Structure 1
Amino acid sequence: MSPPPASSADTASLRSSWRRGLTPPPDLDVVQWAERYRRLSKESSNGGRFIASRVEVARGPMLWATEPGVSKITLMACTQLLKTTCIENIAGRFIHVEPCPILGVFPKDDAAETFSKDRLAPMIRDTRVLRDLFGDAKSRDSGATLTHKQFPGGHITLVGANSPTNLAMRPIRLLVCDEIDKYPLSAGGEGSPIDLAEERQAEFKANSLTVVACSPTIAGRSAIEASYDESDQRKPFVCCPHCAAWQSMEWEQVRFDKVKVQFGVTGEIDGQTGGFVFTGVRSLDGMVSYSLNIRADVFVDGTITARKLAAQQLIVNGQLFDFAATQTVPAYSDGILVDASIAVRSNTARVKVEAFFKGSSNLGSTAGPGNFILYRDGIEILNIPASFAIFRGGPDNSLQFYLSSMAIATEEQPGAGNHTYRALHTNGQGVGGVRIFVTEFSK
């Protein structure tokens, strides 16, 4: 019995499928793929087309995913910045352009399910090329579970880091691990969850990729910090608008300039990590008023007009007023002495020096307690005997000295100019560190 003749529609469909099968995937990196195809879901804060310049700091990590020689990417960043977006775009690009087995690891199984429902499913729904690959989940009896989804050429599986069976279940090429500082130290007693998952990349060793992401937690105990330390430690750089030099973004270098208040506000700026320079603070609408509280040094190039002006300390034409603290210089050393230099700006200014040291539980049987001494420019200005206690101990029940922690302070009028203050403890055996604070007060 001969088969029925094919209809023209069947022939056209077969021809179209044949052409699609012969067409190579687009050669795109993650940034190009995301800007061409990715659509952010309406559940996100910025729905619509993905624009890399809105999260410029994420551009580099996304480009590294296709950089020759890169097999592992460590994303150590603050919360709500770039980590999950990078993971989504990297996974989306590989699903579409280089389909392969993918494993996503999360702290627990419920976190994996939440990612599937809140992040992966909306990305598939709103990104057409992914929606076409996965099809209608309701019409597929297999390959469409909450944590395991199949697509032509591969699959994506989402598991918790606490399940060694799921971590070692399938060979994978792309491994993405989110919030790794929340992983257990061992998955069911079988070892590190990341190590177990990376073992499944053996079949794809030549082109495998691992992405780990998290915000750092406790220094010295953070898994993402340890992973970053083992990497080449790349950082995001920005171009200075004035000198065109490229520099990494550090909070100590942040300065606010040309601040304009358009509407009535009550604001508070904390400048304890660094002073702020305002060259123009004004209200654009004369009908509104505002209050601005600044805890920092403020330098005004022009005039200030205000109904009420209060300052902890005011400098006008080089004169200091208000009997307030104008600057503080701290210094610390693990040894027995520490220096702090300060530029005193007025002959009438007073300087307060405070010094502290940590004691020791045992100075030995022959050591004396020593003295705690303050110097200014090499001249002794305060000498206090250390506080100590004597007790008997050790194998021979000999006399032992206990050196207590101690704080001393003095105040003087050294005159204008540069001055160096030194705190020194003469007992070199039992001092656990010396700290000094030098504060200038007006008048």
Structure 2
Amino acid sequence: MAYAVHYRTHTCGDLNKDAIGQQVTLAGWVNRRRDHGGLVFLDIRDRYGITQVICDPERSAEAHRVASEVRSEYVVQVSGKVVPRLAGAENPNLSTGAIEVAAEHIEILSPSRTTPFPIRDDIQVDESLRLKYRYLDLRRPSMRDNMILRHRVVKAMRDYLDERGFLEIETPILMKSTPEGARDYLVPSRLYPGEFYALPQSPQQLKQLLMVAGLDRYFQIARCFRDEDQRSDRQPEFTQLDVEMSFVDEEDVMNLIEGLLIFLIEETTQKRIKLVPFPRLSFSEVMDRYGTDHPDLRFDLPLVEISDLARAGNFGVFQSALAANGMVKGIRVPGAGGYSRKEIEELTEFARMLGAKGLVSLAIGPTGEVKSPLIKFMSREEVQAIIDRLQGEPGDLLLFVADSAKVCNDVLYRLRGKLAERLNLIDPNEMALCWVVD
């Protein structure tokens, strides 16, 4: 271990077969304790990994006694000798799985009460309880990994921008109120009663002053504060990468940020980027094709408007929506033409929960036969025109929403994602980014 300290010579992720025979000292949390007929096993955890400790009374009766007293989440210091695990007892899922530490001395550094929830990822814990005991929640592997990833992302940002001549400059937190999209948080001044500082919603004016000062490439990992209603994508304080450049145009900024995102993904994840350079799509195009301004491009399934074709015939659901200046929009679900009535009803109920009045379905059989309420109100040619517009093929299922443009887009956007998950169209190891312009 490159940074051995008083309480430990190694971390719980350091040791492997090369360390067999060494005397070591570990410190960490008891992840698990097992008593196997006289032998006590402790899994000691820190943020680097887990190491198994074996406590044999014949080696150290005192260490065995202490090990018998400890419970999960006790903080302990363990000294002993690294030994190989018995054949068949290795754990290939751990970097330390080929060895264990034969305990010679154990000291309890901090006992623990029973935690309000297990420190594991495989159980669901109410979010309010997790936040109340945030320090315990952060011990869970997924939260620890999030913190590590965040550190790596911020470090990679700094490296990327530094190599391109940017200066990291801190701007003041206490500043004059310059109202933006939300209310300011105000801090009263002790020296000037009745006067207030404002916490910045962003360093916008300050970074522009830096450009005026001739510091032409600036960035900051900036803390920002916005007094607004909290939602899933809104928080009262947050961190953003803030960048400003002089003597550039829109294309220069987009190229910088695109290069940065590619660098971050390649440096900090194992994911593949599907489309490089990033596609540039207009706002109207993404709303028409995907129903949202942040489309998932890892799979196709575009939304298709058929309002002009829906005017034919006398299908009341379509005609009512169009008469109210609404629209009719659909989506092709490949290979789902054999969905049962129950499966289609589940999708319909999902659409109703999102605000739609229902779903209209059209199933295309293996030999091209059509099963849909539309065939009672439209001619074969009119129905075929709709199938052709959505590029329907034998074995496909077509689903339609007739309502306002907002409802059609909102419902079909969510339905598109649900269907992609059901059909396994999403590759979790792939990312697909785009620019939404105009």
| Fold agreement, TM-score > 0.5 | no
Name the TM tier (shorter chain).
Answer: under 0.3
Larger Cα Rg: Structure 1 or Structure 2?
1
Pick the structure with more helix per residue: 2
Richer in strand (by share):
1
